[in-house]
Structure 1
Amino acid sequence: MSKKSYRAKPSDGIAFVSGASSGIGRAVVIELAERGYSVAAMARRADDLRELAATRPAQIFAYPGDVRDTAGNRTLIAQIEKDQGPIALAFLNAGLSLHVEREGFDAALVAQTYAVNVQGTANCLDPLLAAMAQRHRGQIAINASLAGYNGLPSSAIYGSSKAALIYMAEALSQMYREAGVTLQVINHGFVRTAMTDQEKDFAQPYKIEPEAAAKIICDGFERGGFEIAFPWQLTALSKFIRALPYAAKFKLMDYAVNRAKKP
């Protein structure tokens, strides 16, 4: 019989959040602190991290770093555990969406996006999984997207990077369950961030504020289960489309995309 999935508590150790300087990451840092965690916040923008840490200096600690730096991530996560104690809960949130991909496919954009979204996540996963498996306890949540469910026109690069994260989370969840490490994936719709604010040509139904998203995400950390998906309307539609035969899927996707275009 497999072990019951581990769910982290503030008494078990600290939380770690990448991409913490703005948007969903920043909101989750604050929400976790509200729920009693000490939080190591990581992002490239050191000034924004320091401003965030200053809001709760006894609970939020700034660790500037770049998820693209493989060796640097390993060193940084080791330093966090040396300074603050074991990481019980990690939210791997750092991500990139380049609006210029709407203009056409470009291999350089693939490399740039995957370097953050896929390789950057892997660079954090590597040391976290090793440390948590050694302790036989840990929880890691990977921020993906509902965009990873289906091939969306004009989102071949971003969407496929998120699809890769969903696959990775599914595989690792099964690989590390017996080691006491819980893997989760967050598949969300539209959240108001600098990323979504750059989209001017399409409607963004059921768009919510990052603070509301953070509450849903942190509730999901506490509740457990593999997937944290919201809003339910877009989740249900995305899963329905994913199950269709390709001829029907492409016809429905064409209709949905045309409806979503702003006049």
Structure 2
Amino acid sequence: MSAQGIVWITGAGSGIGRALTIRYLRAGAIVAGTSRRIDTLDSIPAEARGAGGKFHALPADMTDLAAVREVVARIESEMGPIRLAVFNAGTHIPSPGKAFKADVVRALLENNVMTVANGLETVLPAMLARRGGQVAINASLAGYGGLPLASAYGASKAALINMAESLRLDLEGSGVAVRLISPGFIKTPLTDLNTFPMPFLMPVEAAAERLWRGLDFERGFEIAFPWQFALILKMLRLLPYAAYFPLVRRFTR
């Protein structure tokens, strides 16, 4: 993909979004980073000191469509066309079945799904008009199938996988590439809160490197990592439920 144009990354203040922002800056890109909190964005240039790129901090609440429209309008009018939009904003809340709460589902759908939908609505018209651009939707390997404590989080990520697949079909031949990002367990402030075993836990810098390489130098639909964990979960979802449920219970104890 051409390096011309702006890279817009949401959820840029922490986790994968922050690490990916810094990786793009080190590659010399012009990056617009969005997060709710300006302080998490203001510290990025210092962390990326010596990088050849340029960073623009654009704080916004991605659940607010009007605010997202303002951010995209500012990028396109003041900085240049968005060549790549990485929709990474989101969160995780455990949802044990014996304490199921509709509010948790609602919160995760709003923060994980509607943030992406708001971003897509704002960037797609201009990309389609110029017949060029790439959108990347950060879902999760947890969206492949039901996992313990993830009835809300997994449902939100499954929705994103379905959304990305549908958009890939709808936008074929339009000049706009749709990419699906499916990470497993990545060492971030969110996973630091987990108290259960996390197989194939991946350093966030390694995840950002894999993602940067996949977005700028590969053409496949899905970027899934760590590959070992992705392969296991892909194989599990092909099994009948009589085999799926016992194996998931065994591997997640």
Report the TM-score when normalising by structure 1. Answer: 0.91
Structure-1 separation of matches of 2:219 and 2:29:
17
- Which of 225, 231, 238 aligns to 1:230? It is 225
1:47 matched residue in structure 2: 39
Tell me which amino acid in the other structure corresponds to 1:10.
A
Structure-1 separation of matches of 2:31 and 2:146:
35
1:36 matched residue in structure 2: 28
Pick 1 or 2: higher relative contact order, CA cutoff 8 A, min separation 6: 1
| Identity score, percent | 44
Deviations 1:32-74 (A, max 9, x none): 1112210000000101111114545960110000110011111
Structure-2 separation of matches of 1:9 and 1:215:
18
Structure-1 separation of matches of 2:85 and 2:222:
15
SS at match of 2:201: coil
Structure 2 unaligned residues grouped into runs of 5+: none
Deviation at 1:104, TM superposition (A): 2.1
Structure-2 separation of matches of 1:215 and 1:205:
20
Structure-1 separation of matches of 2:148 and 2:197:
14
- Which of 107, 112, 116 aligns to 1:117? It is 112
SS at match of 1:48: helix
Structure-2 separation of matches of 1:112 and 1:227:
26
Say if 1:104 and 1:154, in contact at 8 Å, map to a contact too. Answer: no
The structure in which a higher percent of residues are helix is 1
Q: Does 1:66 align with 2:61?
A: yes
Structure 1 unaligned residues grouped into runs of 5+: 1-7, 259-263
1:247 matched residue in structure 2: 242
Tell me which amino acid in the other structure corresponds to 1:205.
P
Deviations 1:109-166 (A, max 9, x none): 1111110100111000111111100110000111111000010121010011001000
Deviations 1:154-202 (A, max 9, x none): 10100110010000000001111221000001111111111101101x1
Q: Does 1:180 align with 2:175?
A: yes
Q: Does 1:26 align with 2:21?
A: no
Say if 1:24 and 1:213, in contact at 8 Å, map to a contact too. Answer: yes
Structure-2 separation of matches of 1:191 and 1:17:
18
RMSD: 1.3
- Which of 209, 215, 218 aligns to 1:215? It is 209
Say if 1:19 and 1:42, in contact at 8 Å, map to a contact too. Answer: yes
Say if 2:202 and 2:226, in contact at 8 Å, map to a contact too. Answer: no
Deviations 1:199-247 (A, max 9, x none): 01x1112111111100000111121210001111111110111000111
SS at match of 1:184: strand
Alignment length (residue pairs): 248
Deviations 1:55-107 (A, max 9, x none): 459601100001100111112111111111000011110011013x2362110
Tell me which amino acid in the other structure corresponds to 1:163.
A
Deviation at 1:256, TM superposition (A): 1.3
Say if 1:67 and 1:123, in contact at 8 Å, map to a contact too. Answer: yes
Structure-1 separation of matches of 2:6 and 2:199:
35
1:10 matched residue in structure 2: 3
- Which of 116, 133, 137 aligns to 2:132? It is 137
Tell me which amino acid in the other structure corresponds to 2:248.
M
Tell me which amino acid in the other structure corresponds to 2:29.
Y
Report the TM-score when normalising by structure 2. Answer: 0.94
Say if 2:69 and 2:122, in contact at 8 Å, map to a contact too. Answer: yes
Say if 1:137 and 1:180, in contact at 8 Å, map to a contact too. Answer: yes
SS at match of 2:34: strand
Tell me which amino acid in the other structure corresponds to 1:89.
L
Tell me which amino acid in the other structure corresponds to 2:120.
L
Tell me which amino acid in the other structure corresponds to 2:118.
N
Tell me which amino acid in the other structure corresponds to 2:149.
S
- Which of 92, 96, 99 aligns to 1:104? It is 99
